[in-house]
Structures are given as C-alpha cells and as structure tokens.
Amino acid sequence: MFKFKTYVLKRMNMPFTIVFVRDSFDEILVDVLNQIVNEIDKYLQNVEEKFSPFLSESLVSRHTDLGEELQDDFFDIEYQEVYSRSIIAKKETHGLFDPFFDGKYNPTGFVKGWAIENAFMKYIKPLIDNNILEAGAINGAGDMQVGTRLDSNFSWKIGIENPEDKEKIIAKYSIKNGAVATSGLSKKGQHIKSDNDINHVQVTVVGTYLSDVDVLATAGVVANEKIWREIINNKQLTGILLTKEGIKRVFEEGKITDVERT
C-alpha cells in the first residue's frame, strides 16, 4: 500500500503541489524531504524574481524597458535558455505560441512549465532513480511533471476536468513518467491571445517534458482546425480538446481517435 506525502507552495500567484510516494516515511526521510521542498521553493522564488513581468526589478521587466541597455545579468544561462526556447517555440508553432503576445517580451506561457520540469529533474528525479522514492510529482495549477521507478507498478492517475462543469472528468490518463499540460480560456488564459477566431475552449497535451507540452497546449487553444490537425500529426501528439460547440476530440500518437459531444 503506497503512502503519499504532500506539500503545497505558493509562487507565481499560483499553488504548486509536490507529492512524494513511498511505502513508508520515517522521520529521517521526512527531514530530508522537507529540505528538498525548501530547495524547490527557493528555486521557484528565483525563477519568479527573474521572469515575472509583474516585478519591476525582474530581468523580464528590465529587458522590456527599451531605455535600459543590456547588462551582464541578462546573459544569465537560464534567462538565455528561456528567451531562445520561447523564440523557437514561436517558430515551431507558426506563431501560435508568442512570447510577444501583448506587444512586449513576456515568457509567462513558457516559464511555468519549464520551471516545474527543471525542479522535478533536479530535485525529485534523483530520489526516484536512487530508489529513495517510489514516485514523485510537481503540479503547478494543473500542469504537471511526474515520475515513477522503472520497476514499480505505481502509476499516476490523472483526470482532466470539464471547464464547463468542474464536477465532471472528460478524460483520464494513467502514466508513470511524463508530463500533462492543459490550457484554456476558463483559467490561466491571460497569456492566450490571438487574431484568429478561437474555437478551442480547452486543450490538454500529454508527453515527455512539460516545457514542450505546455507550449503545445497553449498553441492548440488558438490554432484553427487545419493547423492543429497538422501539429497533432507532425508532433505525434496525445491529448484531448473541447470546442465551443461542445465537441470533444481525443487524439493519440498523432491520430484523432474520437469525436463526440460532451
């Protein structure tokens, strides 16, 4: 029987839930996990201080101030990684994912998934790989990176909410290692803007890395039907979307396998 130890952090104006799974937790291990959670909290705070467009002294805010010349700290490795990957994401999604969506550089739509993935890989995955944990996960407002020991029979059971009725689940996934991201208009939609007529209410993408699937889920919301089908096929995506007409489309490894009304 597996036991769960859960922590909740508040960063970037949202809750981050950290879950550790094991058959038992002794006091020594709990102390270690408490330290790990503190390190994750410091890391998320550091990310927020660098990338938040709401903090006047963040690198992002200073970068968008055209009257300020680039200084050495703008060449911070993480800052450069986020900037380059945001630009690449814009190109790969034909401009559907745009770090300049509100007229100035704002990588909000990329940073959260990237930060969760990094924190998981740095602080939780080593505990799983060294058999200290059975499984572990970080969930930031519904987007998550999860992992499980390769020889374990434990799987993460993930339900996707219906944005029109939070009591209903429109899809269920069982995964051991990977990531799930959901983007939509009902929440977390401040970074979703488009000149197109948006018809997708919510898009969920399941994959290996949260930094990738989070971008694709966002792109899926603003994509028209033709382009989104091309992206699903080219990227061999798995997930689900809902349209404004109440149509649910399930796609798996690049193929749409189901079309029905919710």
Q: Indicate whether 199 pLDDT > 90.
A: no
* CA distance linking residue 201 with residue 192, whole number of Å: 11
* CA distance linking residue 130 with residue 46, whole number of Å: 27
pLDDT digits (tens, 9 = 90+) for 48-63: 999 999 999 899 888 8
User: Which CATH fold topology does 3-261 show?
Assistant: T-fold (3.10.520)
Average pLDDT of the chain, as a whole number:
91
The per-residue pLDDT for 191 is 47
Confidence of residue 185 (pLDDT cuts 50, 70, 90): confident
CA 95 to chain centre: 19
What does the block give as tokens for 110?
A: 């990329």
Cα–Cα distances in angstroms (integers) from residue 235 to residues 3, 89, 242, in the given order: 36, 13, 19
pTM of the predicted model, to two decimals?
0.92
Confidence of residue 261 (pLDDT cuts 50, 70, 90): low
pLDDT digits (tens, 9 = 90+) for 110-137: 999 999 999 999 999 999 999 999 999 9
Q: Is 118 helix (H, G, I), strand (E, B) or coil?
A: helix
